[in-house]
Amino acid sequence: MGQTLIEKILVNHADQDVVKPGEIVDIEIDVRVARDFGGANVVKNLLDNGLEVNDPAKTFFTFDCNPTGSDQKYAANQQYCRLFAREKGIKIFDIDAGIGTHLVIEKGIAVPGSTVISTDSHANILGAIGAFGQGMGDQDIAAAWASGKSWFKVPESVKILLTGSRPKDIQAKDIVLNLLHKFGASQLLGYSVELYGEEVEKLSLDERITISSMATEMGAIIVLFTPSDEVIAYAEEHSGRKIEKIVADADASYAQTFEIDLGSFVPMMSRPGHPDDTIEINEVKQIKIDSAFIGSCTNGRYSDLVAAANVLKNRKIAPGVVLKIVPATDAVWNQLLDEGFIKVFKDAGALVSNAGCAGCAAGQVGMNGPGEVTVSSGNRNFAGKQGAGKVYLGSPADIAASAVAGYITTPDEIPETPALFVAKGGFENPAEKKKPSTQKLPTVIEGKVWIIEQDNIDTDMIFHNRYLTITDINEMGQYTFDNLAGWKDFAQRAEAGDIIVTGKNFGAGSSRQQAVDCFKALGVQAIIAESFGAIYERNAINAAFPILTFADISALGLKSRDNVKIDFASGIMTSLETGKTVQINKFSNVQMEIYQRDGLLN
């Protein structure tokens, strides 16, 4: 039996000849990255556990979340990492460099077929060049920095074949939003996705990056492209070495195969709150906007910004609208400068910032305020992710057109006179919305349950990104769920020993370890869910925080504050109110071993 792209990459980095879906393997990591928000915790984990850096030449810091150093806590973390890097001979891509996932491609550090891990949950952007990238929590990264390896469960693969011709008005962002429209946030959960088709082969590197960068939003482990000749040539030029093209075997086995007509794709946007809540752009046209953002790891490439510049040339941004533009890397910034596009942006009235993550992170331009309506070329629009307002996601050209019009539109429907703001006689007040072991770990627990009947609870709902600089676990519990509607007072209501029971894809989104540790700080014993986000699952297991999955526990008839008993080894869950039992998924051997050690790094 042949192997898929992910299987080929993993077997090339494992000490074995074959890997199979579901198998847990140790793989060599070629590129090991920590960003500014996670880097300080990575260093802290190393120092606290007396660990050394395995290979400084393969180890990097990237300061892309707050490349201005404008936040004191970020600045402190960055300096802490700088000092550690000087001691250990680690390369830093500092605040003037750009987004780490782009830099490892641009600098030829990552090439087709390589393995890359980062504290960035969009490290799977490396699928654009046919490399394996994975976002991980700070414990995972620390372990890989110390050993050069990481354990990984081989995912099943899905093949998507795009047939037909690509319509002229369909951008790469439209392609991935159409895919999100079809598959949602969890249908591809845990899969490695391979994309094929005649039009797919024609996609540029920038376009592939746009599509791969939103694998996380689809719940997928990664979206992989077979490297094109253009990508191979780019990698060889930037790495200075010969690159062997990696392809899936003709007889590779796929869990599912989908054939989708690319010709049926339409220009789309994501409505505020969820990237997968996609809709034809025609249905949201003329919604008044306050601001616009063009950039991010999804759409901060040269061709993305040129597409925006072509719309903005000889035009002005609508009165009162703010347009923020952030290139992905400094090289992109300089190319735009050399070719006159920065002047186009400035003449139109845009703010152009130095390279970085911008609107997706709390430390750079791109945030919005209460009631503010933003159109963004980013990949996430979770509530609170980019500020307190509402965020629509779209392509760079559509964002630029909307900034000129003053409302959502497309380049072919920009009005001669832009929409103006009308005073409404009041404004929202955000203040009104604020509310003030050495012992062997047990494998059987009892506790009271909280039933949270909701799917796709993302990490911003669990532990918002405004608290990401917190490194003391004792401070984390108070912020648990304070961005989840209906559960904002959970930290005050929770009791030590509680157990959470919830739905599908719990922990979707970011790689932040705090979204696990906040529950430990409150004394929550376990989380039982139908499924977990891939990175969240790893973080919980590595932190020795019990998580288990189930197919159906309705027979227990549970309601909040019922008492239950759970056996991690057998997977038996019992209602202590009725005595009824159900079978849920027990701990795997790896999970039990890490749990009994009280964490990956112990």
* Per-residue pLDDT at 430 exceeds 70: no
* Per-residue pLDDT at 435 exceeds 70: no
Q: Which of 245, 264, 283 is the last residue of a domain?
A: 264
* Per-residue pLDDT at 427 exceeds 60: no
Q: Which of 365, 397, 413 is the last residue of a domain?
A: 413
Using 50, 70 and 90 to split pLDDT, how confident is the model at 533? very high
Q: Which of 396, 413, 430 is the last residue of a domain?
A: 413
Buried b (16+ CB within 10 A) or exposed e, 115-135: bbbbbbbbbbbbbbbbbbbbb
Report the SS3 class of residue 323: strand
Report the SS3 class of residue 135: strand
* Per-residue pLDDT at 432 exceeds 70: no
481 and 404 housed in the same domain: no
Residue 86, phi then psi, degrees to nearest 5: -65, -40
**Of 19-33, 61-75, 206-220, 249-263, minimum mean pLDDT range:** 61-75
- For the stretch 336-349, pLDDT in tens is 999 999 999 999 99
pTM: 0.83
Between CA 564 and CA 578 the distance in angstroms is 10
259 and 297 housed in the same domain: no
- In the block, residue with structure tokens 């990696």: 246
357 and 334 housed in the same domain: yes
Between CA 256 and CA 214 the distance in angstroms is 20
* Per-residue pLDDT at 70 exceeds 80: no
* Per-residue pLDDT at 395 exceeds 70: yes
Between CA 382 and CA 372 the distance in angstroms is 14
Average pLDDT over residues 250-256: 97
105 and 158 housed in the same domain: yes
What confidence score (pLDDT) does residue 426 get?
65
436 within a domain of the structure (yes/no) = no
Report the SS3 class of residue 504: coil
The residues with which 448 forms a beta bridge, in sequence order, are: 563
Sorted by sequence, the CB contacts under 8 Å of residue 405 that are 6+ apart come out as: 318, 413, 414, 415, 418, 419
250 and 284 housed in the same domain: no
What confidence score (pLDDT) does residue 295 get?
93
What confidence score (pLDDT) does residue 65 get?
86
Report percent pLDDT > 90 for the chain.
Answer: 88
35 and 166 housed in the same domain: yes
- For the stretch 573-595, pLDDT in tens is 999 999 999 999 999 999 999 99
352 within a domain of the structure (yes/no) = yes
49 within a domain of the structure (yes/no) = yes
- For the stretch 192-236, pLDDT in tens is 999 999 999 999 999 999 999 999 999 999 999 999 999 999 999
Average pLDDT over residues 434-442: 68
Q: Which residue has the higher pLDDT, 382 or 97?
A: 97
434 within a domain of the structure (yes/no) = no
Between CA 78 and CA 587 the distance in angstroms is 37
- In the block, residue with structure tokens 């190319």: 335
Q: Which residue has the higher pLDDT, 573 or 381?
A: 573
180 within a domain of the structure (yes/no) = yes
315 and 212 housed in the same domain: no
Sorted by sequence, the CB contacts under 8 Å of residue 595 that are 6+ apart come out as: 441, 443, 541, 544, 546, 568, 587
404 and 457 housed in the same domain: no
187 and 315 housed in the same domain: no
For the chain, the domain total comes to 3
408 and 281 housed in the same domain: yes
What sign does the dihedral 328-359-187-284 (CA atoms) show? negative
Q: Which CATH number covers residue 49?
A: 3.30.499.10
428 within a domain of the structure (yes/no) = no
Q: For residue 529, what are the domain limits? A: 444-596
238 and 277 housed in the same domain: no
164 and 310 housed in the same domain: no
Q: Which CATH number covers residue 486?
A: 3.20.19.10
Average pLDDT over residues 410-423: 94
418 within a domain of the structure (yes/no) = no
- Mean pLDDT of all residues in the chain? 94
* Per-residue pLDDT at 182 exceeds 50: yes
Report percent pLDDT > 70 for the chain.
Answer: 97
481 within a domain of the structure (yes/no) = yes
* Per-residue pLDDT at 331 exceeds 90: yes
